[in-house]
Amino acid sequence: MLGEPVDQVPVAFWRHFPGDDQDPVSLARATLDFQKKFDFDLVKVTPASSFCVEDWGVQTVLRGNEEGTRDYVRRRISSPADWPALEHLNVTEGALGRQLQCLRLTAEGLGSGTPFIQTIFSPLTVARYLRGDDFIVHLRRYPQEFLTGMQIIADVVARFTEAAIQTNAAGIFLAVQPASYRLLSEEEYRCFGEPFDRQVLDAAGNGWFNVLHLHGSEVMFDILAGYPVQAINWHDRTTPPTLGEARALFGRTLIGGIRQWETLLRGTPEAVSAEVRDALDQTGGRGYMVGAGCVIPVATPARNIRAAQHVAAHWRDEHTR
């Protein structure tokens, strides 16, 4: 986290658990089983994205996505007037309450040996789930109604974040989807995204390892690198900046280095090893955690995961001979 040398380069991968993610006990058990199998240095608890909007009436179905994600079949927001009408949810009840139960079970199962973090979708990402991709239309045409809704969303997400940290989580994994030049301008993100992201990060202030995840392509890395987080994760193999370029922009931990589809899922252990070595060369093995750009596909071969772990475990020795 501080960029100091370590005996062994840390590794962490995370995935969805389709079906199991509909029940807090099953999700905790699946998360713990995955960790028991691979012994990662960090556990990210990965619920279905709909956990954060289900209590607002959003509905999803599972249709066999390779990442294990669910398809949205019912949204909450139809008209601009729906944004100010969003309820101030009780985060200890419903789907949010069930996820807190999952975190408590995960904490109990892990004990004090391995840190875990909870996935938190940024308020603007939640707005996208509530409306769909044309949330941008409401953002631009009805900014006042949209901002009123955003404040309600941010309040709920912040209160859930505080409750998540209280389960003994090491921090949060703030997943930000709309911070992309393909979707918004910098001015738009600074108005409709950044203030609410920071509200959530303030709520996570008692966490000691908060991770920012920039999802998608053409991400606003320069802007969000100033967030008060200990690590950043993004699709570094497919969108700027590279790991080496990011080192000059962010002095704490970088997580990534491996393409989850082309390499982890469809590649060989040799291909995985090559990407890990390249990532280690870019970063010098300091302030770096081996990982993928996002969740790994559910069918990722175990041998490819173990190949990444093997290189990380022995790279330091290879470079000190």
pLDDT (tens digit, 9 = 90+) per residue, 182-230? 999 999 999 999 999 999 999 999 999 999 999 999 999 999 999 999 9
Query: Is pLDDT of 321 > 60?
Result: no
Could you tell me the CATH number of the domain that includes residue 265?
Answer: 3.20.20.210
Q: Domain range for residue 166?
A: 20-319
In a domain, residue 292? The reply is yes
70 located within any domain: yes
- Residue 10 forms part of a structural domain: no
- Structural domains of the chain, count: 1
Nearest-angstrom CA–CA distance, 125 and 114:
28
As a whole number of angstroms, the distance between CA 255 and CA 232 comes to 6
Per DSSP bridges, beta strands 71-74 and 59-61 are antiparallel
- The answer to whether residue 153 is domain-embedded is yes
Instruction: Specify if 143 maps to a domain.
Output: yes
At 298-310, the pLDDT tens digits run 999 999 999 999 9
In a domain, 2, yes or no: no
> Token digits for 60?
């999803």
The per-residue pLDDT for range 38-54, each reduced to its tens digit, is 999 999 999 999 999 99
Asked if the structure places residue 248 within a domain, the reply is yes
User: Could you tell me the pLDDT band of residue 23, with boundaries at 50, 70 and 90?
Assistant: very high
User: Residue 228, Cβ neighbours under 10 Å: how many?
Assistant: 11
Secondary structure class of 115 (helix, strand, coil): coil
Q: Determine, yes or no, domain membership for 8.
A: no
Q: What is the residue-averaged pLDDT of the chain?
A: 96
Kindly report whether the peptide bond that precedes residue 5 is cis, defined as omega within 30 degrees of 0: no
Distance, CA of 216 to CA of 240 (rounded, Å): 11
Q: φ and ψ at 173, to 5 degrees? A: -115, 95
**pTM listed for this prediction:** 0.97
